[in-house]
Structure 1
């Protein structure tokens, strides 16, 4: 598929999606959000894709925020609709994908950019990364899940401070907070993510999908995550991957998972 605002490339089990609006510091507008949805959906439906990496073009920004010019004159109703549609189309969608998604955060990840990174299953940052939710400095709050996912990752107090001050933290502080898993040199960011992807791809994609579902269940209101884990655990017993994994273990060989 041809895109105007992003790039999507497949190689050796990994689909890399790059937000490609460098003149706008890769800011998210309506069209880019739709294209990202389509690219993530295509990658998730591709049985050859075992891991998705999302990053920004250039070395200045992952995503520097939302395109404010698109909604500066919105009404209350339009603002609520903007947040609801964006969450459903991209942010919640990414969080609940069955294919692992790694955010490779290069440069600024602000506002909607940090919200996109937080929707991914985990994050790796380059050492020039700067992260924050500056929305209160514009008279609004994060609307793409930021007030929910940031406390889950860094704790309530730190999330309150970051949102209230509208300030940025650097990659080292983000690592200390638990917002990112690893920090690398900029030139090593994608190779490092690919190395992690390689470790993921050795394991059962079916089991990983069930693990994602079970882990996410713990953060959903009204859902008992333990019940979801029990169901998901049982589901694994009916898969070809379980048969291969246990057989390989007993035969003292490396498993060759069929992904079924």
Structure 2
């Protein structure tokens, strides 16, 4: 248990057709490479498992939903290949959600930054609390939201994605995120959010799996090239991550926390 609290975890439970995948890390539910790869694998497995009818994606704790990539790990990268593989972790999560034949409901209980916004945009139906502000901080770090960009732009449109990614220091509140289509629902309390998630997941678990699989294909139509696209985007981020600007920005950020 102490090791899990230190390194974080990804865990999965399935009950009555509803598979809940939870990730956690003590640093704002950030995702080091080990955990983000485990998250992608669990989503892929649940998506291909006959017992699973619908997936709920959530994070632990009661603060941030996801602080994005682990800057501690990124700071130690020495080669472009390492850095590219690091960013491929988020590409794999997005593609796992995209390719899953099961709907993925996102439980967004708190703030989302960077890669956390990308994961939120990728889920099929995001239900959030009023405290779930979002921010794309990548440009401030000298990187840019390249890997998660297609998922965010698909969900909220080019204009809103441009505003969110260019003004990298500004938080957008949950109302903004709902108006732009990032969140399907926003609730004032965690209890109301969880009640809505349970209602929807339970309802979907009794629907036709074949019909939902066909709907999933329809809703993600036009993204069939994302395996290649996100790999190309990860290479761009990997190259930028080794630049002097990004290295200095990461050290400055780490000194604050």
TM-score normalised to the size of structure 2?
A: 0.78
Partner of 2:200: 196
Larger relative contact order (Cα-Cα within 8 Å, sequence gap ≥ 6)? 2
Superposed counterparts of 1:204-243, under 5 Å? 204-220=208-224
In the alignment, what sits opposite 1:20? 24
1:182 and 1:205 map into 2 onto residues whose CA distance is: 24
> Which residue is 1:43 aligned to?
46
Distance 1:39 1:221, change over 3 A: closer
Q: Do residues 10 (structure 1) and 14 (structure 2) align?
A: yes
Q: Map 1:74-223 onto structure 2 (within 5 A).
A: 74=77, 75-87=79-91, 89-145=92-148, 147-166=149-168, 167-184=170-187, 185-220=189-224
Runs of at least 5 residues in structure 1 that lack an aligned partner in the other structure? 223-260
Partner of 1:231 in structure 2? none
Deviation at 1:148, TM superposition (A): 1.3
1:197-235 Cα deviation digits (max 9, x unpaired): 12222321112112211221234459xxxxxxxxxxxxx
Distance across 2 between alignment mates of 1:196 and 1:158: 27
Return the alpha-carbon distance in structure 2 between the equivalents of residues 213 and 20 of structure 1: 30
Q: 1:41 Cα shift?
A: 2.7
Query: Per-residue displacement from partner, 1:29-62 (whole Å, max 9, x unpaired)?
Result: 1111122123223322332211110111111111
2:90 & 2:128 partners in 1: Cα distance? Answer: 24
CA separation of 1:15/1:201 partners in 2, compared to 1, >3 Å: closer, same or farther? Answer: same
1:248-259 equivalences in 2 (<5 Å) = none
What does the per-residue CA deviation read over 1:231-257, in whole Å, with 9 as the maximum and x for residues that have no partner?
A: xxxxxxxxxxxxxxxxxxxxxxxxxxx
Q: Tell me the alpha carbon deviations over residues 88-138 of structure 1, each in whole angstroms, 9 at most, x when there is no partner.
A: x32211121011101111111111111111121121111111112111111
When structure 1 is superposed on structure 2, of 153-162 and 67-76 the one drifting more is 67-76
- Quote the residue 1:230 is aligned against: none
How far 1:77 sits from its partner (Å)?
4.2
Higher mean alpha-carbon deviation, 41-50 vs 55-64, is at 41-50
Per the alignment, residue 62 of structure 1 pairs with 65
Change (3 A) 1:73 1:129: same
Deviation at 1:27, TM superposition (A): 0.5
